[in-house]
Amino acid sequence: MNVVFRGLAIAALVTFGLAAAQPPPSAQNASALHARAPRRLVIKNAMVIYGNAKPPYGPVDIVVQDGVISYIGTTSDVPSGGRATADATIDASGKYVMPGIVNAHMHWHEERQPGVAQPVQYERNLYLAAGVTTAREVGGDFDKSKRWQAESNAHTIVSPRILVYPFVSKGRSGSPAEIRAWIRDIKQRGADGLKIIGMDRDQLEAIMDEAHKLGMRTATHIAVEETTAKDYAELGVTSIEHFYGVADAALNGIQTFPPDMSYSNEIHRFGRAGELYAQADPERLHTMIDLMVEKHVAWDPTFSIYEASRDLQRAQGQPWFREYLHPSLEEYFKGSLDNHGSYFFGWTSTQEAKWKQQYRIWMNAVREFANKGGLVTTGDDAGYIYSMYGFGISRELELHEEAGFQPLEVIEHATWNGAKLLGLDDRIGKVREGFIADLLIVNGNPLENLKLLNPYGADVMLLNGRPAPNYSPLAAGDKVQAGRGGGIEWTIKDGIPYHVPTLMREVKEMVSRARALRVHTTAGQ
């Protein structure tokens, strides 16, 4: 009883948003639309952020017919009966509509701490709540992900659309011939692309040659290897993930490590990784960026996943942990030499300072890459290093702004650029007639504050009880209060609306149940 009441209260709070002039949709209306496929959906009075960084426009009505955007225009022009024949209507007055987000770097997890199950629906809900309608999985359980992909496409599960890029296996021998055979086999089994990590030059040549023959796209996490971004660019990789490999290609020689460096010790690995960009030769870094642009290599920096390294306290104290952090993930985040990315033991101010410097150089490099014509995309790689699914991609967008991009460009990275990266730019990534209806209806204007896209909502200023920009002129007697608002109200995938407050209420319930179970289990020991 209490849980239901609190769920409704949150729904009302989030809906309150910057659209307070409109009464929030009743819970009944929301549940009638949630996760059901209407034949004809009309979104009324929407301000549109198109996706390719052109300025917003509107208000307009958007008609979605059988999952495809069939009409965008003024209300009076809505074709063939308009709202009279719509079997679902969403009023977007005071709200902004933008394309669904492409999360170009993610992994599906069913548990984090061994033995503590974490329902995959937890992750699906969080990603949809953060506006992710398309997820590129770069490494995971191939057979499960293929099954979930089919179920997502058939709408029998509530999930973003999935593209599956399995890790390239070196097989038993690591020989180029064996790797080629593995790639041909995985392509037959339905791989959408390949994720490459840790290859020597001869192995990489075989992978790239085979991928090109089969028309497969490739993503790489380069690490500290014989190969650097230079090899990957020359051989035609589709995207470079993270920061590794790019600065490595700009070193005079190799990175300076102390003699006791061990790459299998993650304290060493992630501590020293924060010293990489400061050691790069700036001139050689410019040249490397030029090569990436020339070879049409995309850069998916995943800024958000390393953020704990530059500010551990911020990462550990994220307010949504209180109600939305699953105990399996919570256990995983704790310092452990066994869990990838849980390397915080005695993390020092010097390590944080070095990582901050690393971010400055790295962000400038990504900015230079984009200015020169390179394709920048967004991915969160969440489920590690205190980054929660969904919240990670929201934070990723904020960090693109920190890197010097305008919010309109950041949204382009997250939508249209993502579609281009995946080769889906003939059907998603823009609010365009004829495109698949992957749309977000945002409470407020995300160009004013990207934090409005966070599933937890954002701080807003209330001026005389109404949300207002915090630069609004104030007069004597005005009442100014701090409030909460924002959030995405609806994430629409393939024309099916998902009500974000409902998704988040379900997440909270999953977490409550798992925590209760943990208490009972512990009590019984």
Contacts with Zn ion, residue ranges (CB under 5 A): 381
The conformational region for residue 469 under phi > 0 = left, psi -120 to 50 = alpha, else beta, is beta
Residues near 264 by Cβ (< 8 Å), separated by ≥ 6?
none
Euclidean distance between CA atoms 272 and 294, whole angstroms: 30
CB 305 within 8 A of CB 387: yes
Give the three-state DSSP class for 18: coil
CB of 502 to Zn ion, least distance (A): 29
How many H-runs (helices) and E-runs (strands) does the chain carry? 18, 18
State which residue, 245 or 446, has the beta carbon closest to Zn ion: 245
CB of 106 to Zn ion, least distance (A): 7
State which residue, 61 or 381, has the beta carbon closest to Zn ion: 381
Contacts 24+ apart (CB under 8 A), 175-178: 176/202, 176/203, 176/205, 176/206, 177/206
Euclidean distance between CA atoms 453 and 437, whole angstroms: 18
CB of 478 to Zn ion, least distance (A): 48
CB of 138 to Zn ion, least distance (A): 6
State which residue, 225 or 381, has the beta carbon closest to Zn ion: 381
Euclidean distance between CA atoms 216 and 437, whole angstroms: 26
Cα dist. 217→211, 221, 242, 296, 322 in Å? 7, 14, 17, 12, 39
State which residue, 53 or 273, has the beta carbon closest to Zn ion: 273
State which residue, 231 or 381, has the beta carbon closest to Zn ion: 381
Exposed e or buried b per residue across 107-124, where buried means at least 16 C-beta atoms within 10 angstroms of its C-beta? bbbebbbeebebbbbbbb
Report the residue number whose CB is nearest to Zn ion.
381
Residue 512 CB neighbour total at 10 angstroms? 12
Q: Which strands sit side by side in the sheet containing 466-468, from one edge to the other?
A: 466-468, 458-463, 480-485
Residues near 334 by Cβ (< 8 Å), separated by ≥ 6?
342
CB of 248 to Zn ion, least distance (A): 18
State which residue, 266 or 381, has the beta carbon closest to Zn ion: 381
Burial class (CB in 10 A: 0-12, 13-18, 19+), 22: middle
State which residue, 137 or 494, has the beta carbon closest to Zn ion: 137
State which residue, 244 or 344, has the beta carbon closest to Zn ion: 244
CB of 440 to Zn ion, least distance (A): 24
Euclidean distance between CA atoms 123 and 140, whole angstroms: 14
State which residue, 387 or 449, has the beta carbon closest to Zn ion: 387
**Segment (H or E) for 440:** strand 439-442
CB of 400 to Zn ion, least distance (A): 18
Euclidean distance between CA atoms 197 and 199, whole angstroms: 6
Beta bridge pairs of residue 193: 217
The conformational region for residue 51 under phi > 0 = left, psi -120 to 50 = alpha, else beta, is left
State which residue, 45 or 304, has the beta carbon closest to Zn ion: 304
Using alpha carbons only, what angle is made at residue 399 by residues 393 and 405, rounded to the nearest 5 degrees? 115
CB of 233 to Zn ion, least distance (A): 20
Euclidean distance between CA atoms 83 and 340, whole angstroms: 52
State which residue, 123 or 489, has the beta carbon closest to Zn ion: 123
Which of 207, 384, 392, 362 lies closest to 299 in space, CA to CA? 362
CB of 105 to Zn ion, least distance (A): 6
CB of 496 to Zn ion, least distance (A): 28
State which residue, 277 or 306, has the beta carbon closest to Zn ion: 306
CB of 250 to Zn ion, least distance (A): 23
Euclidean distance between CA atoms 33 and 31, whole angstroms: 5
CB of 497 to Zn ion, least distance (A): 30
Residue bearing tokens 């495109």: 435
State which residue, 111 or 290, has the beta carbon closest to Zn ion: 111
CB of 307 to Zn ion, least distance (A): 15
Determine phi and psi for 33, rounding to 5 degrees.
-95, -30
